[in-house]
Structure 1
Amino acid sequence: MSRLDDDVIYDMPDFGDHVDNGIFSQILEMDESDSDRDFSMPLVSNFFEQASETFIKMDKALVDVDLRNLSDLGHFLKGSSATLGFNKIRDSCQIIQQYGNGFNIDGSQQVDEDTSIKKIQEAITKVKLDTAELEKLMRKFFGY
């Protein structure tokens, strides 16, 4: 990667709508050099480990129909993904959090538990796929 100035990093791969490039470039700026990603690479790698562990907990909470726990897990992963600029993961986790709390995505009250479970199942399926896709892109970017 080459830096044109302190605020812009060029030659970063196009991660599409998976990643907010502005946020992610700030994470990359924390590295001492473009060739030694000793800050950003472990951070991203740890995120994917954390996501995998969270998905296991989500699957269990889904089987247990534990909406409160699903909401908490969605909130937790939403925060981690937002910090790194991982948009698609953040957005799916927002859906899990909202429906786990008994609300529609727009914040209006959702009282039908079956609908909440269905929407959460769909969001979990999507977030797992998006996470796997983004992890492949990140592995290629970081070379691990």
Structure 2
Amino acid sequence: MAPATPSSSNLSPSAKSAKSGSDPSTQPGSSTTGRDASSLDTKPAVRHKSPPPPPSSTSSILAPAAKPITPSKSGESSRQTPAATEANDEPPVPKDIINMDIFDQILELEDGDNYEFSVGMTQQYLDQAESTFKDMDAAFDKKDLKQLKDLGHFLKGSSSALGISKVQHSCEIIYNYGKCRNATNTKDITEDVALNRVAPVILRVKAEFREANEYLRDWFQQQGANF
């Protein structure tokens, strides 16, 4: 016969805790939980004339946009080949969606609090980028590396002016591949390798553009700007 065990009603609070294997300090009513909960609130406060730092985690950023922006149909199959995903010489992607130092400089040019200048500049950039991506798809379908080089150079410059750092980074890689150079512009590559490697970068830069677009629109709307 098994020895009798004490019922839970006869156990002291500390004994109950030991039996359950839990630490009373971690229970819902403890002060430790309050401190941990407050430390998890990392949402930055919105500063006037300066947007909060965008999220730096690539996985959390891309989670809502897991479905890639599909380029033109004719180039889709070649963009999924193993060779197309080989980009082991690419430099690391910037952590921030927006370079805040540059964006703050744009905001400092405002004459008043309606953000008219920065909204206009941002909208012009977004329109140019959308058009450039269509041209990139057409150039890729025609295997026109020279055109891809020119388009990458153009969008890299306009992205740099606004501090759209991830798009700028990817456009520089597209520019280098368009010259039949590797991602870091340190050695020559063949046209076939360049086309294979540029394909996933075109897909990636569209996703990076979309997250920058959403971030900027949300921020301006929070400021009450007409965007």
Which entry has the higher C-alpha Rg, 1 or 2?
2
Q: Deviations over 1:77-120 (max 9, x none)?
A: 00000011111000000000000001112222333222211221
In structure 1, runs of 5+ residues without a counterpart are 3-8
| TM-score using structure 1 length | 0.89
Could you tell me which residue of structure 2 aligns to residue 28 of structure 1? 107
Matched, 1:58 2:136: yes
Alignment of 1:1-144 (within 5 A): 1-2=47-48, 12-16=51-55, 17-33=96-112, 35-143=113-221, 144=227
Q: Distance in 2 between matches of 1:124 and 1:111?
A: 18
CA RMSD across the alignment: 1.3
Letter of the aligned partner of 1:31 in structure 2?
E
CA distance in 2, matches of 1:68, 1:109: 17
TM-score by length of 2: 0.57
Query: Which residues of structure 2 form unaligned runs of 5+?
Result: 1-46, 56-95, 222-226
Partner Cα separation in structure 2 for residue 38 and residue 117 of structure 1: 40
SS in 1 for 2:53: coil
- Alignment check: 8 A CA contact 2:181 2:189 kept: yes
Please identify which structure carries the higher helix content: 1
Counterpart-to-counterpart distance in 2, 1:93 and 1:107: 13
Do the aligned residues in 1 keep the contact of 2:145 with 2:178 (CA within 8 Å)? yes
**Amino acid in the other structure paired with 1:15:** P
Q: Percent identity?
A: 35
Instruction: Work out whether residues 61 and 69 of structure 1, in 8 Å CA contact, stay in contact via their aligned partners in 2.
Output: yes
